[in-house]
Chain A
Amino acid sequence: MFEIGGKTLKSRLFVGTGKLPDYSLVEKMYYEAGVEVFAVAVRRIGPNTKHTKNVLEYIPKNAIIMVNTSGAQDHKEAVKIAMIGRELTNSNWVKVEIEKDTKYLFPDSIETLKACEILVKEGFNVFPYIYPDLNLAKELEQIGVEAVMPLGSPIGTNKGIGCEVLLKPIINEIKIPVIIDAGIGRPSHAAKAMEMGADAVLINTAIATSSDPVKMALAFSKAVEAGRLAFEVGLLKEYEYAQASSPLEDFITG
């Protein structure tokens, strides 16, 4: 169990619903993999759009909806999307994601900070998607965001924890929860994030584009739990030379 954004959660695996072949899988992930938090995006629907189905209709009533501001290029657009999200869902949870290009999808730190300042004042539970930048994370903690979500690697790259040396100081120094978001491609990456002391992970591509998203969500769920348990116990130190597990005396000589 852990407390975040005014909720008590059992699962430390948050899942993004982008790229899913079928929205009905959301409900299966909730029941079969125990996922409680689902990220969604706001887009136009109706005339001249690709979208006809609304993912909200597929999210179980007790699950938590995290509205992602992706698509916003500055803080004003992000705030507007957050407001629309709250109007439609009554959910206060907003993931602030602001990017200016679609090649790297790196978060814009300055616009993100501005958006967070406004949204915290508006009473949202704010979850900014950021670079693993300790100074920025501290600034965000100061203004009252709920958690910080530093990237493991660029979005959708499946490369895993690409910047451990930058993430570790954030985990060590920041008191609010740290959720590793983006780039996690395998359950072992997620387990590593949790062993490092992350409070949760957010996975989208690695689950949604797998051949069996529900089974993969379950695999991630187990990895996240395993990593967390190991962190709570404390990882052991590494040695240069062998440290015998069996006693090195009283051998049978025949």
Chain B
Amino acid sequence: MIRVNDEEMEFYGNVLELLLSLNLNPQVCAVLVNGEIVKKEMWENFLLKDGDYVEIVSFVGGG
């Protein structure tokens, strides 16, 4: 079980696979795991493990 943006979910795989499974465009997302930024080039090698807290962020309109 991992937590993604405060939602618990069963997921096995790496960061890139998580984004794709959520239908998010990886080009425009940044990912934090347990509060730390995981760089894009690391996504395929970064396996998510039980208890990880993932935040997926992107850009929205802002002042």
Contact = CB atoms under 8 A, between A and B. Distances in A.
Given A45-B29, A88-B30, A51 B62 contact: no
With most chain B CB atoms within 10 A of its CB, the pick from A45, A68, A89, A202 is A45
Interface string B1-31: 0001111010000000000001011001110
A44 B59 CA distance: 8
B60 A40 contact: yes
Nearest to B56: A46
Given A42-B57, A84-B37, A47 B4 contact: yes
A16 B58 CA distance: 16
A67 B58 CA distance: 11
Interface residues of B, number: 24
Contacts of A53: 60
Interface of B: 4-7, 9, 22, 24-25, 28-30, 32, 37, 39-40, 55-63
Interface of A: 16-20, 23, 39-49, 51, 53-57, 67-68, 70, 80, 83-85, 87-89, 97, 155, 182, 202, 204-205, 208
Given A41-B62, A68-B63, A97-B63, 14 more contacts: A19-B61, A23-B61, A40-B61, A42-B62, A44-B55, A46-B5, A46-B22, A46-B24, A46-B29, A47-B22, A48-B6, A51-B60, A85-B59, A182-B63
